[in-house]
Amino acid sequence: MPASDPWTTTPTAEATATATTSYPAAVSERSAKVLARRPRGATVLAVHPLAFYLRIDRSWPDPGLLPVVAAGGLRLPNAVVLASEPPQVGWGVQPGDRVVVGDGEIRLPGATIRRARVWRPVRVPTVDQLPGVRVTGVLERLASSHWVAPARRLATAALRKDPLGDAVGHTVGAGQGLTPSGDDVLCGLLLALRLAGADDAHRCLWSSIRPRLGSTTTVSAALLMEAADGYAVPAVVRLAGALASDRTIEPAEHAGPAEPELVAAAREVRAIGHSSGADLLAGLFGGLAEAQEWRAGGVVLELHTVVPQHFSNTHTGVSP
C-alpha cells in the first residue's frame, strides 16, 4: 500500500518555514523530475554524516527514494549532490522527520537545498562477449564467499529462463540494514547480466524481482530499480568498464601493471558499506561466470535453495 500522506493540501507553515542556510546542489538526471514537481511532503528515512535519505509521498509504485549526499559521500545514481561538505552542525533532521520537496528545492527545518545544475550518471556498458576476461581472481577473492554459489545458481536459472519466483522471493530483503545482503547480490547479478549482454536472462531475473520490491527497504528497492536500468555507484561502473575492456584479467595475486585499474576498482567496490560491496561483487562474479560458462556450452548449476542459512527475509513491506 502507498505510504499515508497527511498533506492533502498546501504544506503547512511549519513545513515551509523560512530556512536560514541555502546549499546549491547537482541533481541526478534520474531524480530531476521529482524535484521539479510542485511541493509535496517527504519523510526522512535515515541520516548519516555524509548523506540522508528521503521517501517522497505519493510516489507508489516507485519507491520514491531521494538520497541527498554531501561532497565526498557515496554518490548513488539518483542522488542530489551538494557542492560542499555537510553542515558542521549536522543536517538538522532525524529519521521520521517531515520535509518538503519540490519547485527545485528540498526544504529542511534549518536549511534549503537548491538545484543548481543536473548531473548525468553513467550506465554500466553492455558487450556481446567478454573475450579473454577471466573473472575468477579479483572478483571472487573479494566477494562474500557465502553468496557466490547462490548467485551462480540464480544466474544459471535466469539464463535458462527457469521459474525464479521462490528463489528470488527468498533473496529479496534477505539480511539487515538499509540494503540487505540479498538485494546487494541481486543488484550485482542484474548489472552482470547487462554487462554480459544476456538480455533475456536479465529480463527473466528482473521480472521476478520487480513484483517483490515491497518486501524490502525503500533504499534497497530503489537501488534494485537503478541496477535494472544499468545504473550503480561510480566505483561499480568503473569496475564494469574495466571488465568490459579486451584485456586479459589475471587473478589479483598475479596482478601486474596491465590491470591496476580493475584491481583498484574492485577494492573500492569491496569497501562500500559493511558488506554491501562484497555482496554486490558476489552477484557480479556469479552472473559473469555463469554467462561465460553458458556461452561456452559448459556445465551449469541446478537451482535449489539459494539463500545462505544465516540470512532470511525480515522485511514485510517497503520500509527504511
pLDDT in tens, 221-233: 999 999 999 999 9
Q: State residue 42 phi and psi, 5-degree precision.
A: -150, 150
Confidence of residue 115 (pLDDT cuts 50, 70, 90): very high
Out of 22-31, 52-61, 205-214, pick the least confident.
52-61
Confidence of residue 311 (pLDDT cuts 50, 70, 90): low
Where exactly are the structural domains of the chain?
21-119, 138-296
* Mean pLDDT of the region 20-28: 92
pLDDT of residue 262: 81
pLDDT of residue 65: 96
287-314 residues labelled b (16+ CB within 10 A) or e (exposed): bbbbbbbbeeeeebbebeebbbeebebe
Answer whether residue 144 shows pLDDT above 60: yes
Q: Peptide bond preceding 61: is omega within 30 degrees of 0, i.e. cis?
A: yes
Name which of 148, 139, 167 is nearest 259 in CA terms.
139
Tell me what percent of the residues of the chain surpass a pLDDT of 70: 79
Maximum mean pLDDT: which of 5-9, 72-76, 259-263: 72-76
Give the chain's mean pLDDT.
83
pLDDT of residue 81: 97
Answer whether residue 303 shows pLDDT above 90: no
DSSP symbols for 212-258? GGGGSBHHHHHHHHHHHTTB--HHHHHHHHHHHSSS----GGG--TT
Residues contacting residue 256 through CB under 8 Å, at least 6 positions apart:
250
* Pairwise CA distance, residues 162 & 155, whole Å: 10
Answer whether residue 134 shows pLDDT above 60: no
pLDDT of residue 41: 97
* Mean pLDDT of the region 96-101: 98
Out of 24-28, 36-40, 247-251, 268-272, pick the least confident.
247-251
pLDDT of residue 69: 97
Name which of 222, 215, 235 is nearest 284 in CA terms.
235
pLDDT of residue 319: 46
* Pairwise CA distance, residues 262 & 162, whole Å: 32
Tell me what percent of the residues of the chain surpass a pLDDT of 90: 64
- pLDDT single digits (tens) 148-182: 999 999 999 999 999 999 999 999 999 988 999 99
pLDDT of residue 242: 86
pLDDT of residue 5: 34
248 close to 135: Cβ distance less than 8 angstroms: no
* Mean pLDDT of the region 48-62: 89
Answer whether residue 40 shows pLDDT above 70: yes
- Cell readout for 157 is 536459472
- pLDDT single digits (tens) 73-82: 999 999 999 9
pLDDT of residue 314: 52
Beta bridge partners of 47: 52
pLDDT of residue 140: 85
pLDDT of residue 255: 42
